[in-house]
Structure 1
């Protein structure tokens, strides 16, 4: 029973983080547009190509998390990404509803991803189903 609960926890976190990533990636793709996202990244002092890579990572990583593919690798990359975003938003205060967005949301996402680093896929993943 305990392992089953751990597997459900991994599935729940993978689904939550995966759906969140898909939502953010598709927003960057369809609302802000790739060029707009790249310009925003440049305004933050990052190279424009990082905007394009972020769109790919959020959509691809979101799909991988939902399916349970390379979960720990995607989660480690997510922790790194969210730590950077937490730092960027740290000047805006704690609450993400503050002007410019605070650091509470990306810090929470970093910790959620860190939990997945430790949990891994769990049994409810495409890879586990294929092996059966």
Structure 2
């Protein structure tokens, strides 16, 4: 796949995961307001987005065809650990915008900014530390 094709595919998957994330947050926040519900919404949205993005990335970005509970468990654990760093970027941006402007639009713009930065960082971490066997078999490891 060309670099442009990879960037486009990864971007589309990031948009899909972002929409799932923000939709989940809105569903949770529909039940009320407050800091506790806000934290629950961010956690639920992050989890939904993480699972969707893992499944798409594993197969269509890194061409990892490994299967079975052990393979998925190990890779999803590593994928999640790499995501912790990028989640701090995402949550920090989203929270800062919410605290400054206190609107759903500002919160979601902050989320999109944070997720965009986070996904660029995440791709590089995943390529280097999570999907190493798949990348080696394709001759793409660097």
TM-score w.r.t. structure 2 length?
0.33
Which gives a bigger RCO, structure 1 or 2 (Cα 8 Å, sep 6+)? Answer: 1
Q: Which has the higher helix share?
A: 2
TM-score w.r.t. structure 1 length?
0.35
